[in-house]
A and B are shown apart, each in its own frame.
Chain A
Amino acid sequence: MSPRPQPADLLQGTLGILILKALLPGTAHGYAVSRYIEDATGDVLRIEEGSLYPALRRLEDRGWVTSEWGLSENNRRARFYKLTPAGRKHLRSEATVWLRYSQAVTRVLRAEPAIA
């Protein structure tokens, strides 16, 4: 196996946004969420998968996510998470802030004298 790229440290709160984004298409269990983040980031952001679950609980506590038990694609009992309307709204506003922020940082880094 090839050595994996060094995972970047997740900024505070970023994991929550990623999870909400992962749940945007529909209901998903924890494993599916972690697979989505893995695929979508091209494995650049290596998340310790165990930390997903406490994060999910926090999102649930704030009312952005609900959960219920159901059957998985291979017919096993699994806990499924789902975005609430509040969660959807939160994701939208957080995403806007995040994009504006990252654009600003990008512009600064691209400015003369250019690094690359």
Chain B
Amino acid sequence: MSGERQDPPAWRRYLRFVRPNVAADVDEELAFHVAMRVARNLSLGMSPDDARRDALDRFGDVTRVRHDLVSHDLRRQVATSRVEFASDVMQDLRFGWRSLRRAPGFAVAATLTLALGIGANAAIFSVVNAVLLSPLPYAQPHQLVSIGEGSGGEFVALRERLRSFSHLAAFAQATNAIDNGDRPERILGAAVTPNLFPMLGALPMLGRGFAEEESILGNNGVIVLGHRLWQSKFGGDSGIVGTRIILEGTNVTVVGIMPPAFQFPDRDTEYWMPYAFNPGNMGVTWAVGGKWFIGRLAPGVTVPQAHREVSTTWPTLRALNPLWDPGEDYRKDAAVTPLQDAMVGSSGTLLWMLFGCVLLVLLIGCVNVANLLLARATARERELAVRAALGGGRGRLVRQLVTERLLLSSVGAVAGVLLAFVGVRWLVSVMPAGVPRAHEIALSGTVLLFTAAVAVMTGVLFGVVPALRATRGGGGKSAGSGIGLRATAGQQHHRLSGALVTAEVALAVLLAIGSVLLVRSFQALSSEDPGFQPARVIAARVTPANANYRDPARLVTLYATVLERMSALPGVEHVAAVNRLPFAQSVWGIAPRVEGQWEDGSKMLPDLGHFQEITPAYFVTMGIPLKRGRAFTAADRDGVPPVTIVSESVARKFWPNEDAIGKRLGYAWPSEWMTIVGVVADTKQDSIRDTLSTSMYVPWQQRTRMSGVEMWVLARTTSDPGALAGTIRTIVRDVDRTVAVGEIQTMRNVLTDSMHKARFTMLLVAAFAIAALLLGAVGIYGVMSYLVGQRAQEMGIRLALGATPARVLAIVVRRGALLAAAGTALGLVAALFATRFLSSLLYDVSAVDPLTFAVVPALFLIVAVAASYLPALRATRVDPVKALRAD
């Protein structure tokens, strides 16, 4: 029968099960139609030829119809498979969710681990990005360099000599009272050389910058306001340009307003004044440092070239001023550094270190997740094998596993993003003061993408590998796996996860050592004696308006009244006032003339670390021991011969073999001598890391024209000093409503705040180290549990053959301890190299502190043994019979 010839080959039907063959189906359908028509024609009595011709005639254009149908069906197949794929994905997701819910411990551990890694990483990297990586907001920032710190005289001499720079500028920050005619306020500004704005490529928004001649003393009565100050204090009035305002009691003309985005050297600086040189008094100009020099490299000059010129030129300045002898080693260490590095300074080390820590935690986290996934995948090998045997395609199984991992990673990533969001805010709030550009910190999208990518990669990598392994070689073998196959698969897995755990422990050890070193430094810092007794002392910053207190007598009355009322409070033992409070603000030094030794004011005078104006009871209030002579009294006032008190090291420095009492010191100007009436103990004034420093004190009532109006009032109490804060504020307000009361803090807190950075570093690193330790323990526990589960049969057999539970316990614990020991050894070696980067943050502790390097590994071994103990205990309870029958 001719119809038979139209039949498609039989195998085509089976092909259909694999994948619908569109063309074959169309052919088959059309062939059927024609065959049926031919059959009918034959039954009507036609000849086979006629029957066939008639059938084809009735059908029409076979080729065109076939073509139309095939292309139509192909289109439809594509559309359908898309829908099917989507529904498969949904199914995978549902299945993945269910299987995660079946193992909640695994899911929670993995999610939290990922969240911690991603969140901490994104948060810290956001900070690093804002502070360290994004370029400074100036024109061609890579050409800007810092040349170091020095005096005006040195600056002028350097500017004449250096050839590597197209611009060389100097600046110094200072706080001054700015008066808009309403109320004076002390605001931070900077004195800058006139070329600074052009050097940075910054143009004023209104008015102009500074002219070169405005840097000569006498011509410097001009000011450029920052946008923020202009808005807040002058209402954004553009008419202000060209008018006069009062700066520290002096009239200055506003010549320009900077645009909102401009900041230099930091965001807290709100105005700029010309840095004034005094060509007539170069002795002082050479001696008084504290100016920062920055420059723009000339085209084609590199940082190392500039560095070579500066480091050879600067030491030669020593010969310029015969009156001035700064010593042999003068500026031997002069260095040129990129401005960004210089501005970031030690914060950079801190941030890079934190970033390093957080990367380690992320790594540990990934290792842990990988391990958990591997263990879980191995546990599910059987399930996968069964599904493969039941006809689940390998691709489909792999896709399902990957979906499951991605689901897990995504949940972790979402939690991580939330954590990062919270983390960045927290970091900014606890960040030590002085981290530059802290206000620019925001959660960065790039960072989130990066960490999310890491999470996804972890998911895919550790999802696909076990999936491939589990589905390899079809169903039959694995489904019926016996002891042999299991043991082999297990061993492969053990080697991998063992390596992962070793790495994990190594990283955790590294972090732990760093954190212990920091904790020990912090302890050392905290127990360091500042030279005074900070306990039970409270300090309040009192700022009268300059305009109201031009008359010194009024000022004396103000503080006398405030102190008197404070001393009348119950529980107050002593009260005093000081112009600059140690540890709260930097206490300036002074270079005094010394009678019989350094009398010529034009010479480079010996520098004393700190100079303070105090009221009589300052030493008893602060708890600074008086060593010889007397303290100041109310009789040391204006109009009587001036007196001074020095600290022990000053007395030793100038009169090593004599009594300092009765000797005389003087300012460079005014010229009157001050007699030393007492010697007190040395104290620390700026930082607890400093050595005890040389200090000079004068009675506040013998004040000079240089003195400001602001003072800190202090009270030593018998109980909690913090309770006095409100009362002190009220007292000052009652005496004069126009007087501002700023910070009120206990001295204890002032000291603690000065250690803020050390504490911040320590807390963060300790947090990371604890996280790492916990993750490490989880890692060991996971691997050992898995190992025990895998080798349950072996343990069962051993027990059946007469091994004691103690022996089995030992086998497992020993394996855990070995892993930990290997990791610890690696971690120790890494720490020996890595902790040297910490040394700038350490205090009184060696970067290779033997105690730390002994204690931390011991701790880890204990943790490792503990983490393997529970699984080991489980191993001893394996029922031999059950274990052998398990398959």
**A: which residues have CB within 8 A of B?**
29-31, 34-35, 48-51, 53-54, 57, 61, 69, 72, 74, 76-79
Contacts and interface: CB of A to CB of B under 8 A. Distances in A.
B13 A51 contact: no
Given A30-B29, A76-B32, A49 B68 contact: no
Contact of B33 (A31, A54, A57, A77): A31
A contacts with B: majority SS: helix
A50 B57 CA distance: 10
Interface stretch (B59-67, B121-129, B446-454): B59-67
Given A54-B68, A54-B72, A29 B32 contact: yes
A30 B33 contact: yes
A83 B65 CA distance: 23
A72 B39 CA distance: 14
Contact of A53 (B30, B40, B58): B30
B61 A50 contact: yes
B37 interface: yes
Given A48-B59, A77-B13, A53 B32 contact: no
Contacts of B90: none
Nearest to B7: A76
Contact of B59 (A50, A54, A69, A78): A50
Given A31-B37, A57-B72, A50 B32 contact: no
Nearest to A46: B58
Contacts of B76: 61
A79 B65 CA distance: 16
A53 B65 contact: yes
18 contacts: A31-B36, A31-B37, A35-B40, A48-B58, A49-B33, A49-B37, A49-B60, A50-B59, A51-B60, A51-B65, A53-B29, A53-B65, A54-B65, A57-B72, A69-B25, A76-B32, A77-B28, A79-B25
Given A30-B32, A51-B60, A53-B65, 17 more contacts: A34-B33, A35-B40, A48-B59, A48-B60, A49-B33, A49-B60, A50-B60, A50-B62, A50-B64, A53-B29, A54-B65, A57-B69, A72-B36, A76-B3, A76-B32, A77-B32, A79-B29
Given A49-B37, A53-B65, A53-B69, A31 B59 contact: no
A46 to B, nearest CB: 8
Interface in B70-117: 72-73, 76
Contacts of A35: 40
Nearest to B68: A54
A4 to B, nearest CB: 10
Contacts of B68: 54
Contacts of A53: 29-30, 33, 65, 69
A29 B28 CA distance: 12
Contacts, number: 58
Contacts of B61: 50
Interface of B: 3, 7, 13, 25, 28-30, 32-33, 35-37, 39-40, 58-62, 64-65, 68-69, 72-73, 76
Contacts of A54: 65, 68-69, 72
B32 A72 contact: yes
Contacts of B73: 57
A29 B31 CA distance: 12
Nearest to A60: B76
A69 B33 CA distance: 14
Nearest to A58: B72
A61 B80 CA distance: 12
Contacts of B59: 48-50
Nearest to B50: A1
Max count, chain A CB within 10 A of own CB: residue among B13, B32, B33, B64: B33
Nearest to B46: A1
A78 B32 contact: yes
B103 to A, nearest CB: 41
Nearest to B61: A50
Given A54-B69, A77-B13, A49 B58 contact: yes
The 7 closest A-B pairs by CB, nearest first: A50-B60, A48-B60, A50-B65, A31-B36, A50-B59, A31-B33, A79-B29
Contacts of A31: 32-33, 36-37
Contacts of A51: 60, 65
Contacts of A48: 58-60
A35 B3 CA distance: 18
Nearest to A69: B25
Contacts of A57: 69, 72-73
Nearest to A51: B60
A70 B110 CA distance: 51
A27 to B, nearest CB: 15
A53 B73 CA distance: 12
B76 to A, nearest CB: 8
Contacts of A50: 30, 59-62, 64-65
A29 B29 CA distance: 9
A35 B72 CA distance: 25
Nearest to B6: A76
A30 B34 CA distance: 10
Contacts of A74: 39
B875 to A, nearest CB: 58
Contacts of B58: 48-49
B47 to A, nearest CB: 11
A45 B69 CA distance: 24
A79 B69 CA distance: 13
Max count, chain B CB within 10 A of own CB: residue among A29, A35, A54, A76: A76
A111 B628 CA distance: 141
A34 B28 CA distance: 17
A75 B60 CA distance: 26
Nearest to A54: B68
Contacts of A79: 25, 28-29, 32
A92 to B, nearest CB: 27
A79 B27 CA distance: 11
